């Protein structure tokens, strides 16, 4: 069996989890295996939708002890379910929770772990994973020596594929509690916009923005095209009041949107490490020699303070937009 850990948000399966499930279905078909989805929390309401993405069985660990995320509690649920159901592959989306829980589950299982993968295949009944290495400069194909194989899938890379599965619901035991760590409070952002790592369109600004207040120009463009705003480390570190959660790059978020618009960003290797997986890259920079142009699908050599408002005006005129 291939088991996929799925996260729910307000009763809906999160998109990165649905992508991991879709990929799990494809791999299960290739290897003649069953696909299981595993949910954990105070309630699994909404988990039945996993059948839409091909789950044969939907496991649910429901209980008060899992009402808040706990690294060791959730890892225990995953490891126990893998063992009880004889799963050989465990997948999770490379979200904040997935990146936290999957390696812990792998450690409990003595399993090999591949993080943030961008390609998966079943070869001779074993999992093979492709992962970006050296800050995205190269790709490594990883195979596993262990019987159980664990991987996290990078959001926005694996296509969503709806394919009906049997979706049989089965309860699994929730741990009693007494975990070493539990999330006590979540301070949600007021914006209600999607997280950068899940965004389909990102408009990012760098040191060329000159000031935090000028990020309003990027907000306007992002609003017009249904995107969210990101930043380079130089912009975040400049003391312009931009939070670290906006930072894209090696020490920020790894993003893989369909469209990434880099405004006043030179294209340092550490920035590229976080956004080279974008499907289309547009660079706006006044320096024609800026390294970002080597990576960009479309380059605009010009002053961003002239170009960005023009793009916004055109987008508003065309009425394009939701993310």
Query: Binder to ligand FAD among 167, 175, 206, 230 (CB under 6 A)?
Result: 206
Pick between residue 192 and residue 288 the one whose CB is nearest to ligand FAD: 288
- How many C-beta atoms lie closer than 10 Å to residue 166's C-beta? 12
Tell me the CA distances in angstroms from 289 to 218, 233, 238, 283, one per residue in order: 23, 20, 23, 12
| Residues in Cβ contact with 91 at an 8 Å cutoff, skipping those fewer than 6 apart | 2, 3, 4, 5, 20, 23, 24, 120, 150, 151, 152, 153
Binding ligand FAD (rule: CB under 6 A), the pick from 34, 85, 163, 286 is 286
Using CB under 6 A as the binding rule, whether residue 207 contacts ligand FAD is answered as yes
Minimal distance in Å, beta carbon 307 to ligand FAD? Answer: 7
**How many residues at the interface with ligand FAD, by CB under 6 A?**
28
255 token code pair: 């993003």
**From candidates 290, 295, 311, 315, binder to ligand FAD by CB under 6 A:** 290
CB of 272 closer than 8 Å to CB of 136: yes
Residue 235 binding ligand FAD, by CB under 6 A: yes
135 binds ligand FAD (CB under 6 A): no
Cα(190)–Cα(196) distance, integer angstroms: 15
Using CB under 6 A, which of 304, 311, 312, 315 touches ligand FAD?
Answer: 304
Nearer to ligand FAD by C-beta: 88 or 197? Answer: 197
Of 81 and 312, nearer to ligand FAD (C-beta) is: 312
DSSP codes joined into one string, 200-231: SEEEEE-GGG-SGGGHHHHHHHHHHHT-EEEE
Segment near ligand FAD (CB under 6 A), from 40-48, 106-114, 118-126, 286-294?
286-294
Of 41, 136, 208, 230, the residue at the interface with ligand FAD (CB under 6 A) is 208
Give residue for tokens 């660079």: 283
List, edge to edge, every strand of the sheet that includes 126-133: 119-123, 126-133, 138-143
**Residue of 196, 153, 165 whose CA lies nearest to 29:** 165
Question: Which residue intervals of 66-129 are DSSP H helices?
Answer: 71-85, 96-109
Query: In the complex with ligand FAD, which residue's Cβ is closer, 43 or 245?
Result: 245
Report if residue 287 touches ligand FAD, rule: CB under 6 A. Answer: yes
How far apart are CB 132 and ligand FAD at their closest, in Å?
14
Kindly state the smallest distance separating residue 210's Cβ from ligand FAD, in Å: 7
Q: How far apart are CA 25 and CA 22, in angstroms?
A: 5
Residue 227: C-alpha distances to residues 3, 80, 190, 219, 315 (Å) = 32, 39, 16, 8, 12
Of 241-270, binders to ligand FAD (CB under 6 A) are 247-252, 264-266, 268, 270
Q: Which of 162, 170, 303, 310 binds ligand FAD (CB under 6 A)?
A: 303
Which residues of the shown chain bind ligand FAD in the complex (CB under 6 A)? 206-208, 232-235, 247-252, 264-266, 268, 270-271, 274, 284-287, 290, 303-305
């Amino acid at each position: 069996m291939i088991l996929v850990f799925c996260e729910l948000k307000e009763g809906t399966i999160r998109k990165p989890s649905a992508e991991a499930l879709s990929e799990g279905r494809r791999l299960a078909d290739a290897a003649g295996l069953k696909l299981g989805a595993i949910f954990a929390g105070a309630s699994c309401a909404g988990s039945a939708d996993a059948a839409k993405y091909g789950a044969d069985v939907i496991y649910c660990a429901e209980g008060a002890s899992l009402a808040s995320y706990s690294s060791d509690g959730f890892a225990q649920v995953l490891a126990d379910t893998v063992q009880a159901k004889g799963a050989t592959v465990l997948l999770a989306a490379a979200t904040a929770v997935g990146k936290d829980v999957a390696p812990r589950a792998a450690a409990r299982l003595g399993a090999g772990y591949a993080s943030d993968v961008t390609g998966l295949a079943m070869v001779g009944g074993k999992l093979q994973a492709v992962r970006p290495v050296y800050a995205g400069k190269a790709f490594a194909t990883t195979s596993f020596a262990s019987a159980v194989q664990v991987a996290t899938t990078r959001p926005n890379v694996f296509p969503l594929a709806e394919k009906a599965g049997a979706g049989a619901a089965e309860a699994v035991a929730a741990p009693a509690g007494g975990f070493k760590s539990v999330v006590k409070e979540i301070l949600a952002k007021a914006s209600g916009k999607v997280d950068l790592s899940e965004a389909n369109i990102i408009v990012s600004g760098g040191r060329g923005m000159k000031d935090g207040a000028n990020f309003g120009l990027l907000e306007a463009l992002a609003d017009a095209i249904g995107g969210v705003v990101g930043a380079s480390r130089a912009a975040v570190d400049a003391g312009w009041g931009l939070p670290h959660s906006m930072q894209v790059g090696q020490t920020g978020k790894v993003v893989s949107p369909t469209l990434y618009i880099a405004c006043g960003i030179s294209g340092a290797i550490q920035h590229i490490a976080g956004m080279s997986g974008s499907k289309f890259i547009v660079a706006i920079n006044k320096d024609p020699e800026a390294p970002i142009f080597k990576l960009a699908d479309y380059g605009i050599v010009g002053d961003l303070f002239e170009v960005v408002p023009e793009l916004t005006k055109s987008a508003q005129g065309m009425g394009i937009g939701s993310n």
